[in-house]
């Protein structure tokens, strides 16, 4: 008889917990929606460099419908109730940066599980996601999940090479992705962009097909190497400290080991910010060429190219 009452009490306890949880979810959702709308404007600026065409950023913001974004945001916060809207907005910024890179370049790996989870929730709403891609770059940004973590140092170095040119590198960036150029300095990529003709670079590195705005951004990106490399002779550290723009610092960093210690907070080894900095998630089919118009999650345990 005692055993019967113990079982009954356990059943009632489970029922009560589930009941309270069901009752609290509408209240949580209402709060999350309210906070989302209060802070939504903060997600519109991805803090991009002048390389990223304004028109591409505008297309991204217009394509990411507020109602769709709110739905994804709410689902993410219900899964992670201890994460504030300010923190989720930081994840939105990094996901939007990633989507810009995926729009411009042929293959870009994903190297953060939280950002990838936000992307997965976007993908789970297929109709809205397809409409988003169509409005953004007129073609799908695909995602093929991994089943085991995949160590991809070359792909991570290429990610870093794109990122430091296109966006500011601040504490959010480093906390999200870990320090940059841990697995190589990207000399081969730098050599290509300094020596190859534009059409050759497009054939090797640019996403195809993509939008006019993304192609314009790629052209800006390629042209910057003739502008930014001379800054290696200037004070890259000072430029970074004043603007969070790390490209001049990168050019100094890649030129000689003598400067490595000056940039250890941004580049190189001893990274404690990310335990998956060389593991990836992917957004498309796997090919050898960097011009493959797909992307993957390489850093998370649930995704693979």
Q: What is the pLDDT of residue 279?
A: 64
Q: How many alpha carbons lie under 13 Å from residue 280 in its C-beta half-sphere?
A: 28
Q: What is the pLDDT of residue 38?
A: 94
CA of 87: how far to CAs of 45, 92, 121, 275, in Å? 15, 9, 17, 19
Q: Digits of tens for pLDDT over the chain (305 positions)?
A: 665 555 656 665 555 445 445 547 888 899 999 999 999 998 899 999 999 999 999 999 999 999 999 999 999 999 999 999 999 999 999 999 999 999 999 989 999 999 999 999 999 999 999 999 999 999 999 886 655 668 899 999 999 999 999 999 999 999 999 999 999 999 999 999 999 999 999 999 999 999 999 999 999 999 988 776 766 656 788 889 999 999 988 988 888 776 567 788 999 874 444 445 566 644 433 333 344 444 555 544 333 33
Q: How many alpha carbons lie under 13 Å from residue 3 in its C-beta half-sphere?
A: 0
Domain residue ranges of the chain, discontinuous segments joined by +: 27-298
């Amino acid at each position: 008889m005692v055993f019967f009452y113990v079982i009954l009490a356990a059943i009632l306890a489970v029922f009560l917990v589930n009941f309270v949880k069901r009752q609290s979810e509408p209240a949580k959702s209402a709060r999350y929606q309210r906070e989302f709308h209060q802070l939504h404007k903060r997600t519109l600026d991805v803090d991009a460099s002048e390389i990223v065409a304004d028109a591409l950023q505008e297309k991204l913001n217009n394509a990411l419908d507020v109602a769709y974004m709110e739905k994804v945001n709410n689902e993410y916060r219900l899964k992670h109730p201890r994460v504030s809207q300010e923190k989720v907005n930081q994840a939105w910024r990094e996901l939007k940066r990633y989507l810009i890179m995926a729009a411009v370049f042929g293959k870009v790996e994903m190297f953060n599980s939280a950002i990838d989870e936000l992307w997965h929730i976007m993908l789970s709403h297929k109709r809205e996601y397809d409409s988003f891609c169509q409005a953004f770059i007129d073609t799908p940004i695909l995602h093929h999940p991994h089943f085991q973590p995949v160590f991809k140092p070359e792909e991570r170095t290429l990610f870093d090479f794109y990122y430091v040119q296109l966006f500011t590198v601040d504490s959010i960036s480093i906390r999200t992705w870990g320090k940059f150029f841990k697995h190589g300095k990207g000399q081969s990529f730098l050599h290509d962009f300094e020596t190859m003709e534009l059409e050759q670079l497009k054939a090797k590195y640019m996403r195809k097909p993509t939008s006019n705005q993304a192609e314009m951004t790629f052209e800006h990106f390629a042209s910057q190497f003739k502008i930014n490399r001379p800054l290696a002779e200037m004070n890259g550290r000072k430029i970074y400290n004043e603007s969070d723009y790390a490209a001049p610092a990168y050019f100094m960093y890649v030129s000689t080991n003598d400067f490595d210690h000056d940039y250890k907070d941004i580049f190189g080894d001893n990274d404690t910010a990310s335990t998956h900095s060389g593991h990836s998630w992917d957004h498309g089919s796997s090919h050898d060429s960097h011009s493959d118009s797909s992307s993957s999650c390489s850093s998370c345990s649930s995704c693979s190219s």
